[in-house]
């Protein structure tokens, strides 16, 4: 038996750190602030270059088309941004759904 279970259908969408981005928090680690989230980017959403000062980020594209450095990526693509490393800008060519893990608090700079 797993020690934690979450059903995405039971979790609400909430505003993300940028316009056009929504988060569905599947799990939050109380001690570290780490998160496992579904992230939804509306088609046409542009996220400026940024860093996550307190967390490493892993993002796996479940659906949609994502543009990074003029290359389009789709389902099955895994991205990793080390803590404090600048990444982006990102552009959602279509609506994009990703499963994303932050191993610390979700902050952007």
pTM of the model: 0.93
Residue 7: band (very low, low, confident or very high) from pLDDT cuts 50, 70, 90: very high
What structural domains and CATH numbers belong to the chain?
21-102 (2.60.120.10)
Q: Is the Cβ–Cβ distance between 16 and 39 less than 8 Å?
A: yes
Separation between Cα atoms, residue 79 and residue 48, nearest integer Å:
16
Is the pLDDT at 105 greater than 90? The verdict is: yes
Which residue in this structure is represented by tokens 């490493």? 56
What is the structure's pLDDT at 1? 86
Secondary structure letter of residue 12 according to DSSP: -
């Amino acid at each position: 038996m797993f020690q934690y279970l979450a059903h995405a259908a039971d979790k609400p969408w909430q505003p993300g750190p940028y316009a056009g981005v929504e988060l569905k928090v599947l799990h939050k680690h109380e001690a570290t602030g780490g998160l496992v989230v579904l992230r939804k980017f509306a088609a046409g959403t542009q996220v400026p270059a940024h860093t996550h000062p307190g967390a490493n980020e892993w993002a796996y594209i479940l659906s949609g088309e994502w543009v990074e450095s003029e290359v389009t990526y789709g389902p099955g693509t895994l991205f990793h941004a080390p803590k404090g490393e600048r990444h982006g800008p990102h552009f959602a060519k279509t609506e994009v759904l990703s499963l994303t893990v932050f191993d610390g608090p979700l902050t952007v700079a």
